[in-house]
Amino acid sequence: MNHFVTEGYVLPNQMHIYWTTMIVLYPYITGIVAGAFIISSLHHVFDRHELEPVSRFAMIMAFAFLLFATLPLMAHLGHPERAFNMMFTPNATSAMAGFGFIYSTYLLILAVEIWLLYRADFVFLSQNARHPLMRKLYWLLALGVMDVSPEAKALDRKVMIFLASIGIPAACGLHGYVGFIFGAIKANPWWASPLMPVIFLLSAIVSGIAMVLVCYLVVQWVKGREINGACVFALIESVWYFLIIDVTLELLELLNHAYMANEDWEILKALITTKLFTSFFIIQILLGSVIPFFLLGSVVVFKDRISPSVRNAFGAFGGVLLLMQVAAMRWNVVMGGQMFSKSLRGFLNFDVEIYGREGLIVAGLVLCLPFVTMFVISRILPLWGPLSTFPKEWMKEVVPERKPLKGYSKFS
């Protein structure tokens, strides 16, 4: 059970905080989906060739996190099976019901795009994999489409680029929708803002790029592989630019509240200076925004003067801080908006659960599931490039001999 302590005057119907850890985790996971997909699309759609080493991995990351995006919501609901009623009996005027259709459409687009990206590899592995069962599995993944002629691959690429182009606004809509849910609640001055969807979207892109950056550096270090400097710099540069816009809009929204000084400003000021002081000023602003701004900014501004090792260290440390910043932002929005009473004269104190359905342990397990999924996929598919460029150690586990790959996977 959660324990709540009230301060000041709190209305009787506001004695509980209903949206807790899982509702904080839900926009955090969907944000990583949007940001990772943007990185993949920058390569495939906009020909950012320096991002090629992480383009496949970013797409698989988006897919893995998207598979579990609804799990926090399901864990939060008392009867999760009732969530499907929104799909079977749709209501066009319901913002909550809209998520199911946005999610389903985006999941389908992403799955088809991944299939087109890997189809030529499926065909090769269906003929050359070490074990008969694996050859059958790859044939099933290829859906029996074994044509790898230049014309077929060209068509695959055209369709994939088209879907990626559609996927960009779909990804933006997926996470902008989450901000819309909060921003549309007019009775809550901490949430009600037309900037909320934009802020959620920008912070999502920041978290997704930061996750790709950190994972790429960690995997390369653990595997002892060479780190592509141009790729790391492109990731750092992209996340730095989005960080500037994101933090600027967040501070402008807060400044707007302070300048207007409506009747709700006094309670909001007390909220961020007392209840949310550590999570807002220390974690979100200082540790998660100011320090990464200077760390990553120094890499961008002095790119020719910083050594590769320092660049990679700054990128990894700054990426971790950005992931922490976005998590703190989600916490401050979701929990902060429920901590003050509609009377604007009282607060609720919330004690974080460790155990239980919405405790930190369950939240940590849910957050680990996408990484487990990516690990399983990595045992079946190459995540860091086409077969023709992939390291020999992966090929030896799957294919008895490294055979010629003519005509396969000319794009990543």
Asked, for residue 128, whether it belongs to a domain, the answer is yes
Cβ 62 vs Cβ 33: under 8 Å:
yes
- Mean pLDDT highest for which of 8-17, 58-67, 188-197? 58-67
Same domain flag for 154 and 236:
no
Q: How many domains does the chain have?
A: 2
Terminal-to-terminal C-alpha distance of the chain: 49
Side chain identity at residue 244, one-letter code:
I
Among 5-19, 117-131, 245-259, 298-312, whose mean pLDDT is lowest? 5-19
Compute CA 386 distance to the chain's CA centroid, rounded to the nearest angstrom. 24
Beta-bridge partner residues of 5:
349
Determine the Cα–Cα distance for residues 207 and 28; give it in Å rounded to an integer: 8
Cβ 57 vs Cβ 383: under 8 Å:
yes
Query: Which of 210, 224, 215, 225 is CA-nearest to residue 375?
Result: 215
Helix (H, G, I), strand (E, B) or coil at 7: strand
The 10 Å Cβ neighbour count of residue 224 is: 6
Percent of the chain with pLDDT over 70: 88
Residue 131 φ/ψ, nearest 5 degrees: -105, 140
**pLDDT band, residue 410 (cuts 50/70/90):** very low
Same domain flag for 234 and 262:
yes
Give, in degrees to the nearest 5, the angle at Cα 346 between 343 and 351: 130
Same domain flag for 172 and 294:
no
Strands 4-9 and 345-350: antiparallel
Cβ 70 vs Cβ 84: under 8 Å:
no
Tokens in use for 232?
Answer: 């790391």
Among 69-83, 132-146, 225-239, 362-376, whose mean pLDDT is lowest? 69-83
Q: Which domain holds residue 258?
A: 228-350
Same domain flag for 283 and 323:
yes
**pLDDT band, residue 386 (cuts 50/70/90):** low
Determine the Cα–Cα distance for residues 352 and 136; give it in Å rounded to an integer: 48
Cβ 28 vs Cβ 330: under 8 Å:
yes
Side chain identity at residue 203, one-letter code:
S
Same domain flag for 177 and 236:
no
**pLDDT over 50 at 58, yes or no:** yes
**pLDDT band, residue 13 (cuts 50/70/90):** low
Same domain flag for 30 and 166:
yes
Whose tokens are 């598979």? That residue is 67
Asked, for residue 305, whether it belongs to a domain, the answer is yes
Beta-bridge partner residues of 7:
347
Helix (H, G, I), strand (E, B) or coil at 93: coil
200: which DSSP letter? H
Higher pLDDT, 129 or 51: 51
User: What is the pLDDT, as a whole number, of residue 1?
Assistant: 42
User: What is the pLDDT, as a whole number, of residue 294?
Assistant: 96
